[in-house]
Structure 1
């Protein structure tokens, strides 16, 4: 079994050696451990430091694309290198390298597809009271929407099986953490968490500029991910709400009309009618969105099959005695994927 530990980096040349030194060299049930650095457009020598420290795989972005894109690039690289398990951790030393054994264990044992490192946000000494409150509130929302039991939804310290990594398609440009959990929960993947140790932050976060900005971006990510997988429920719910609101002024008009005073309240009828029309239109949008979501599921299933076909082609060298595959065929498979 092959484990690849990926670390997204942005100007981490100074702290990266210490982080790499703490990574495990062997783990129970794992035959091979390799490291992958994703240099997300660093202006320092992050890539050079990684190579000098013997990192097996270095992926470099010419410009800064953001954490979600760095995570995607890392997953693609790890899968192409044959990883059976992928661990994602931070470069700034927030997580204890020795705890990788904890989050890998459930995946190695086949008990979980994804294991999250739980930082115990409710009583973490490195978090202030306001941050603890936000973390707990955000985790509750994600836990509810994803139908999972994860108590630390935004922890980036996680182990992912090969099958889960192939099934997850990150759609956000901000942070992959909540998007990934909602997808995994709705796709019925097995998710668990284990308590892990954390260290005090050595620098301000490079993911977001301020707490309000983080709340805004995370809220948009959660809403988009939930709507993607529950389009019918969201749009029909909004349509039903508009319909109920529309019935209220109509009922008001009918009351006055029944009492012979309908002429002065025609505006209630107009407003109610408009809301009823909006409710119907939004509900129809929900049906269309649900059809699109169904097509998305079919496309994702086909992408998964094509990825596995491409992997088999790569491992076989593109040809065998009984089944020869031309270069043109391989390119066609990649284009379809």
Structure 2
């Protein structure tokens, strides 16, 4: 399997300090692997100059799409996926704009997708330096969903993943446009429907830019306790997980291998 055209989709919020170098690194490593690369940055109404920095790079195939409103990571990632599908690319790669992956590892994800004919490839993060409460949250989530997935999923919410278009379109259509944690739903559905998924260990890097922890949770530095915004998000995400993926009549549970393969 070869990929003539790859689309890389990237949700971003307040990443002006580090996104230019990250995009240049991706272009350097991925461009040799195909004829055409499109990189679509879905800017979630950043309050800094993220959109302007991307627009001024002048790199062929790099485009910024500013969202109509600030909606958070999940809906912005889904908008980015839809934009990637609209390009007609033969592979869609998702990565967050905070630059916590190496360009060489993104190229490895593409290579594995090609060589192993995988419908989905996850980059499983190694060496994460997250606060204790985020590690506890991730571990608890893995334990919670394992009985529903039928097997372990090593990094259920990883933001580095590559999809063949048919598999991605099925997942995006099933989850809807507003999911808070689409990658968790995707990972569960991939396991249940027996998609050809490969898990590849990749390095987790510090966030690029001047502010090492970002602004997603309304706190700067490394707070000792979970910020209030994160606690609220975790509660809402669990409710959504039950509603969309875990309860017996959940929409994402309706996915099956015969339906997905068009049999």
Report how far residue 39 of structure 1 moved: 0.9
Task: Describe the shift of the 1:207–1:84 C-alpha distance in structure 2 as closer, same or farther (beyond 3 A).
Answer: farther
Cα RMSD (Å) of the superposition? 2.9
The alpha-carbon distance between structure 1 residues 131 and 110, as it changes in their structure 2 partners (threshold 3 A), is same
Cα distance between partner residues in 2 of 1:137 and 1:297:
25
Q: 1:297 to 1:100 in 2, by over 3 A?
A: closer
> Given the alignment of the two structures, is residue 113 of structure 1 paired with residue 116 of structure 2, yes or no?
no
Q: Which runs of 5+ in 1 are unaligned?
A: 232-288, 306-337
Deviations 1:135-161 (A, max 9, x none): 222123234322344211111111111
Matched, 1:74 2:84: no
8 A contact 1:119–1:197 mirrored in 2: yes
* TM-score, normalization by structure 1: 0.62
Quote how far apart the aligned CAs of 1:14 are: 2.0
Question: Higher helix share goes to which structure?
Answer: 1
Structure 1's consecutive aligned runs of 4 or more residues displaced over 6 angstroms after TM superposition are: none
The one of 197, 212, 216 aligned to 2:203: 197
1:309 maps to none
Q: Paired residue for 1:332?
A: none
Give 1:218's match in structure 2, choosing from 237, 255, 262.
237
Structure 1: distance between partners of 2:64 and 2:146: 34
Give the alignment partner of residue 146 of structure 1, picking from 127, 146, 149.
149
Looking at structure 2, the residues matched to 293 and 20 of structure 1 have their Cα atoms a distance apart, in angstroms, of 33
Partner of 2:221: none
CA change 1:125–1:178 in 2 (3 A) is closer
- 1:131 maps to 134
Task: Give the corresponding residue for 1:206.
Answer: 216
- Tell whether 2:108 aligns with 1:97: no
Aligned residue for 2:203, secondary structure, equals coil
Query: How far is 1:32 from its partner?
Result: 2.2
- Corresponding position of 1:49: 53
Structure 2, unpaired ranges of 5+: 219-226
The structure richer in strand per residue is 2
- SS across alignment from 2:112: helix
After superposition, residues 225-304 of structure 1 pair within 5 angstroms as 225-227=244-246, 230-231=248-249
Find the partner of 2:169 among 163, 166, 174: 166
